[in-house]
Structure 1
Amino acid sequence: MVKSIGPKKIRTAVFISGTGSNLKNLIKFSLKKVSPIEINLIVSNNLKAKGLKFAKMYKIKKKVYNYDKKKDSEKKILKDLKSNDIKLICLAGFMKILSKDFIRRFKGKILNIHPSLLPKYKGLNTHHRAIQNKEKYSGCTVHLVNSKLDSGKIILQKKVKLSKKETPSSLQKKILKHEYILYPRAISKILVNL
């Protein structure tokens, strides 16, 4: 059987800590012909992360690291990324902060999706904070990762209107739908420039 010679897909690792709904969405995206990425590795700091089931489901290699010793873990991760020839990292609900040294090794090749309109509401509890401050809009942002929390160059954002009766849970659901659209679009946009 002759393999069709299309554009070569970029070898990608997705980092998760939880349910992996953005991971699942990225896997589905990666399987499309037009997608510029293929997911070759799933990395987690949490052995119980529900998202790890997608590794088995889609036959993708997975690695779980105990983050008690950050330096050792990152050394192992970098080694595994190298041996799997990973060129792009997508953070999808990864709840650990990567070191400056780690980020430097993958400069301009680590993406994150954040559930707010950055630079507003960096860090955690974004929906709660947006509602508390009576924001009219919130949303999601895909950005490059640099050594400052949620401060890298913004690639794409999507604005979402808050309703009068918004709760953190309803807002999360509302924004998540847009995250699924925004993340693949941002990946396609940035890979044109990689």
Structure 2
Amino acid sequence: MPAKNIVILVSGNGTNAQAIIESCHQSKINAKVCAVISNRPSAYALNRAKAANIDAICIDHELFESREAFDETLRKQIDEYQPDLVVLAGFMRILSSQFVKHYEGKMLNIHPSLLPLYPGLNTHKRAIENKDTIHGASVHFVTGELDGGPVVIQAQVNIAKDDTPDTLATKVAEKEWEIYPLAIAWYCDGRLTTAKDKLILDGKTLSRNGILYNEHLV
């Protein structure tokens, strides 16, 4: 199967982008990262892309008068690479419905909670305040509902009594670096498909919360 083209959207440090880039270089994902695009000039993820000889592009959202104008410019830039998959890796923008529809079925996001728990921000703080004992991360397809698209895979971590939002974030991030490349690999190998809001992996329909990750899952 020919290698797929991936475009990654980022806003910050880019550790998930780094995990994806390395997985592509190691042939764990049958794809090429064509570009890393950020809405923030200071995003360290752009440096990661340059170090890997990947196009690093900044489209500063603050230079646009409206969300729609920014999204349209972003869409045109993405489409120059003819991507098979668009990957949100810490992209801190709420995307317009028109933008989301344009990439329907081929845009993935990772969220630091066990969706549908804690959509939005401050997920680690919220989990601790609610005295949860389990937390985690979810990979999902992007839809018009914020963090509400169908889930592909989730990974869990235990919340210790002395965990802070920062220590919990570190635990969750380590799982994100494992499950995001895995889900992307499934998609690029044609194993993961979508049909009528359902996700199908290797011919089997996934549950609402996707697959629960373990280290032996490939």
Normalising by the smaller structure, the TM-score range is: over 0.9
DSSP 3-state at the match of 1:117: coil
Q: TM-score, with normalisation over the residues of structure 2?
A: 0.83
Partner of 1:56: 50
Aligned with 1:75 (options 72, 76, 82): 72
Deviations 1:147-167 (A, max 9, x none): 111000000001111111111
Aligned with 2:11 (options 9, 14, 17): 17
2:136 matched to 1:139?
A: yes
2:154 matched to 1:157?
A: yes
Deviation at 1:34, TM superposition (A): 3.6
Partner of 2:93: 96
Q: TM-score, with normalisation over the residues of structure 1?
A: 0.93
Structure 1 residue ranges without an equivalent (≥5): 1-6
DSSP 3-state at the match of 2:168: helix
Deviations 1:106-151 (A, max 9, x none): 1011100111000001000000000000001000000000011100
Q: How far apart, CA to CA, are the structure 2 residues paired with 1:45 and 1:64? A: 6
Task: Report percent identity of matched pairs.
Answer: 34
Q: How far apart, CA to CA, are the structure 2 residues paired with 1:42 and 1:82? A: 13
Report the CA distance shift for 1:16/1:71 in structure 2 as closer, same or farther (over 3 A).
Answer: same
Partner of 1:3: none
Partner of 1:4: none
DSSP 3-state at the match of 1:174: helix
What are the equivalent positions in structure 2 for 1:119-134 lying under 5 Å apart? 119-134=116-131
Letter in 2 for 1:65: I
The answer to whether the 8 Å contact 1:18/1:50 transfers is: yes
Deviation at 1:36, TM superposition (A): 2.0
The answer to whether the 8 Å contact 1:25/1:180 transfers is: yes
Q: How many pairs were matched up?
A: 188
Deviation at 1:186, TM superposition (A): 1.1
Aligned with 1:36 (options 24, 30, 39): 30
DSSP 3-state at the match of 1:101: helix
Q: How far apart, CA to CA, are the structure 1 residues paired with 2:87 and 2:181? A: 10
Deviation at 1:46, TM superposition (A): 0.3
Partner of 2:178: 181
Instruction: Point out the more displaced range, 168-177 or 69-78.
Output: 69-78
Instruction: Let me know the Cα RMSD of the aligned residues.
Output: 1.2
Structure 2 residue ranges without an equivalent (≥5): 194-218
2:112 matched to 1:118?
A: no
Q: How far apart, CA to CA, are the structure 2 residues paired with 1:21 and 1:130? A: 22
DSSP 3-state at the match of 1:147: coil
Q: How far apart, CA to CA, are the structure 2 residues paired with 1:12 and 1:33? A: 14
